[in-house]
Every structure is written in C-alpha cells, then in structure tokens.
Chain A
Amino acid sequence: MANPTKPDWEALAARPDFAALLAAKRRFIIPATIFFLFYYMALPVLIGYFPELMKRPLVGKVNGAYLFAFSQFLMTFIVAALYMRRARQWDAMEHALLSSIENSQSKS
C-alpha cells in the first residue's frame, strides 16, 4: 500500500496535465455550484418576502410555491446527471495523468 519512494508532490502538482485536470473540474464545478445555490436559495427568499406571489395558483389548484419546490427536485437530478457525465471526462484525464506518472517512475 505504501509507496516505496516518496513521490515529489510539488513536481507532480506542477505538471501541466494536472493543472489541466484542475481547470477542467473548476470550469464545471464553480458555475454549477453557484447556479444550484442561487436557484435553491431563491425559493425561501421568494416564499419569505413575496408570499402572495407564490400563493397564486398556476396549474389547477397548485400554486407557484409548490411548483417551484418541485422544480428543485428536477434541478437536483439534472445537475447531478450533468456532473456524472462531465466526471467521465475527468476520469479519462486522471487516468492518462496517473499512467504517465507510472511510466516515468518505472523508467527512472
């Protein structure tokens, strides 16, 4: 389990392909996090300060408050699915990165 030689983490972290992996993750994770937090917090803010607006029935008896809450479930499913899809690309980058490290280690 333990690495026989201690890897040079500074050198590893400085690799351009690691930087590319981090950048790829950030490109998705940061905007996605900002989006879901805003979409989610909009619910209690609208409910708290615009209750009359949210009480208005939209579909039959069902009001905006319930529909917006229900949309949060769909939003969660969609963001999670997008993340899972994107993560497959990161896995491929990670795999290439790790096997290139392994190759250079076995040569030296």
Chain B
Amino acid sequence: MMLLSAIQFTPALGMFLAFVALTLVITWLSARKAKGSAAYFAAGRSIKGWQNGLAVAGDYMSAASFLGISGMIAFKGYDGFMYSVGFLVAYLTVLLLVAEPLRNAGKYTMADLLAYRMSPRPVRAMASLSTLMVSTIYMIAQMVGAGGIIKELIHIEFAPAVIGVGVLMLVYVVFGGMLATTWVQIIKAVLLMGGAFALSWLVLGKHDYSLTKFFTAVGHADYAGTAPPKNLLDPGMKYGASVNPWGPLDFISLALGLVLGTAGLPHILVRFYTVPDAKTARVSVAWAIGVIGVFYILTTFFGFGAATVLPKPDIMIGAKENTNMVAPILAKALGGELFFAFISAVAFATILAVVAGLTMSASTSFAHDFYSNVMKHGKDTAPETEVKVARITAFFVGAVSIGIAIKMGPTANAAFLVGLAFAVAASANLPVILFSIFWKRFNTAGAVGGLATGLASAVILILLSPNGIFGKEGALFPLENPGIVSIPLGFLGAYLGTIFSPRDPNAEAKFAELNFRAQTGLGAEKASSGH
C-alpha cells in the first residue's frame, strides 16, 4: 500500500477509475446471466449482428490499433500507416472466405472446424497450442500498452502498472465470460470512436480545419519545431531500401502477414460463435468493416497529426521513442487533463476487454480442445469442470504475458507486436482453416503438419530476427516480419502432410457433410435462448 500513498488523486484519475468501475459493473451484471458453457463461451449465441460487429471492432481496435499505430505513424510516418491499411483489408479475407463456413460448422473454437473431419485429438492439441501462442503474443502487446497508460496516468513504474492490469483482467475473465466481454467491447467501441473523432477534430483545428493545410504540415512535420522537418507521407522511414537493404521485402512480408492474419486470429473467430447464424456473422463482419475502416482513416489525423503538434521531448522516454503513448499525450496537449483521462480510460478499457477476450479464447481453446477432448478423451467432462479449467488457463496465460511484457518494457511498439501475432496466426491457422473447408483430400496429417510447420517456422523466425534473441547484429533471419517465409511454409506443411500420408477415407467421406453444412448452415449450432 506504500505504492498507493505516492499516487496523487486528480480529477483525471477519478474519471479513469469511474470508467473502469463502470465496466466492472457491466461484467458483474452480465455474469449473473451467464449460466452454462454455451453462455460462458459463446454468450448463448444470442448476440445481434450489429452488436457483434461493434464487439469485433472493439476487440480489434486494441492497444495496437489505437496506441501502437498512432505512435508508429508519428515516428515512422507512412510505413506505420501500412498497419491501418492491412488491418482493415484483412477483413475481406474474413468476410469472403472464413466467417460463414466457420459459424455454420463450429461450436466454440476454431478447432471444432478442424476436428470435424480429422482425428480430433492430435488436431485439437496442435490447434490449442497455436491458439495459446497467438493469444500470448497478442496479449503481450496489450500489456505493454496498458502499462504505458497507467504509468502516464498515475506516474508509477511500468512493472507494477502491468501487474495491476493483469489482476483487473483476471477479474473480468473469471467472473464474466463471453457475454461480459461482448458488452464491454460494444460500449468501448462506441466510446473509442467518439474519442478518435474528437481527437482528429482537435488536430484538424490546429490547421484551421483545412485538409490542405493539414497535409502541407504533415509534408513538413517538424514536431512543433523541435526536429528538422521531414515529409511523413513519404514511405521508407522504417522499411526503405536506404534504411535497410532488406526493408522492402520486410515491408511486403509485413503486409502479407497483416492481410492473412485476422482470419486466423482465435479471439476474433470465436466472436462468430456468439451470433445466432451465418447471416448474422456476415452482417457483423460488415459492421466491423464500416466501423474499423472509419477508425483507421482517422489514424491519418491523430497519427500523422501528432508529428505536427507535439514537441519531440514530450513523446520520448529518455533517448527512446515512447511509441505507444503518442495518442494519449496528444489528447492531453490539445484537450487538457480531462480529455486525456477520457482517452486513457477508453484505451485502458479497450485493453482490458481485449485482454479478456484473448484470455477467453486461449482458455476456451485449452479447456475445450485440450482438456476435454485430448486429456479426457472427449467424454464425461462436466461443463463446470471445463469452465474451471478455462479459468485456471486464463491465470497462466495472463501471468506469462505479464512477465514478458515487463521484460520488453514500455518502448516496444504494440502494433509491431500484434503484427507478429498476425503473422503467426496467418502461418499456423489460416492454411488449415482454408484446407478444411475447401479441400476434400485434406487429412489429419496435413492438419497437424500445417499447424506445426506454420507455428514453428513463424515463432523460430521471430526468435532469429533482428528483434529476437541474438539482437540486430547476430540476427540469423534478416526480416523483422516472418510472414513471407512462414505463411507459404504453413500452406506447404499442410499440403505435403496430406499428400505424403495415406488417404483418409473417413475424412473424405465427411467432406460432403462438412461442405454441405458449412455452405448451407443445415444443423448448425442454434441460439440457446432456453439456457
């Protein structure tokens, strides 16, 4: 409690705490309604299309999108804007290829679809491993962002800030379940959009509400006169060939991982099980595209705009770029303490809810896929036990990502970290999801091979990259983003695993069933209104 006495109570802090308390009340209220595993894991499949769309958008506009991208653009200009583009276009992959078949054929997790035709145990085991991995990397990004906010808001050290976030997050997950995180996401998506509009408007006001003046200023961005002017609209500040000979290829690798990653993100995919049917899943993707698209267009203003308004010293931690805190600091400079508190509270709630959603999907996958179906052979697992295992898993995933986040420190960019999670998801999950739906010959060896190759290659390449264990000088793999190598390897692993193993008549026989169900929704899991 010595810690608390050092904190000064300001109106900003009061507003922040009130907001966090409000989201906890929502969690508690919805927890009272959530009974049974369909309710806990899939919100009773009762969420409406626009609600789920906002929740998907909320899940997506996480620390990376708001904090990470705005910081990346403010420091690296155009190259950071690529994240805005890629994160959005990725939803076309979801909409056109994945959302509806997945909803029709699955129950709670991505692995349901994969296990449909294959031997369930090895496939579920690998799928839950990859889900845990993707969720953990994604979560580290959120923790880094949340720690930064708390540090900025109440001036405590980064490590205790991150731990505090972790504890709050566990409260959400342990008591709430999917319905609670859905409502928190919806409210937060609306507030974050409001905050993003307000912030953009304030930035534009600095340039007399003239787009011409705004873009002219971005073309000579000088951080309020504290740095030599440069044109932030010009690409190449991070991935240019003059910065790094591997830069252009790295940029392509990043773009590929982004566009294919979303359709393999477990915590986004589970959202499609919370709606009554495939049509609603489709409508929710359309809503998400609308909301997210507008949000990313706005990153133009609070990303590029920050570099025209904020002095460089304000957005540095010593000699390092305070890369996740540009948007909140911009809010403080333009809108004062209370606006800063509002933006911070929204961003923080964003992170809590995303972390809760991630933990949910990781722990759901572990409880449902690994514990019930692998360890307990798919029989006699009481739903209560499954929920309990999920909660214990949540605790461990949380603890691991807190540890790594503290080790990485506040200057690791959240968008970059999430980009890595996307690359892992695109390499491990997407190939096997697509092959399961569209390729009759696909079998267990192919599914396990694809998951294993994609997961292992992406993770190993990240570890050998310039940001990995050997540092910039000793890196064995020259690219920061592994996608351009690991995604083809994931597809190749799935393909070779299939054609070099004996044909599986059972899997092929079930293709007719899966195909018919996935495309028409016959016999899909229904909304459980009677639960």
Contact = CB atoms under 8 A, between A and B. Distances in A.
The answer to whether A and B come from one shared complex is yes
Interface of A: 1, 3, 7, 9-10, 12-14, 18, 21-22, 25, 29, 32-33, 36-37, 40-41, 43-45, 47-49, 51, 54-55, 60-63, 65-66, 69-70, 72-73, 75-77, 79-81, 83-84, 87, 91, 94, 97-98, 101
Given A47-B235, A80-B91, A21 B254 contact: no
Interface stretch (B268-276, B360-368, B491-499, B519-527): B519-527
The 8 closest A-B pairs by CB, nearest first: A48-B248, A9-B513, A13-B512, A44-B255, A61-B219, A9-B512, A44-B252, A47-B235
Interface residues of B, number: 59
Contacts of A18: 516, 519-520
Contacts of B297: 70, 73
B389 to A, nearest CB: 24
A84 B170 CA distance: 38
Given A72-B89, A73-B85, A33 B97 contact: yes
Nearest to B513: A9
B383 interface: no
A63 B233 contact: yes
A5 to B, nearest CB: 12
B234 A9 contact: no
A42 to B, nearest CB: 10
Interface in B73-120: 78, 81-82, 84-86, 88-89, 91-93, 95-97
A84 B296 contact: no
Contacts of A14: 512
Contacts of A94: 519-521
A73 B510 CA distance: 39
B95 A48 contact: no
Contacts of B510: 9
A41 B248 CA distance: 12
Contacts of B233: 61-63, 65-66
A44 B238 CA distance: 13
A46 to B, nearest CB: 9
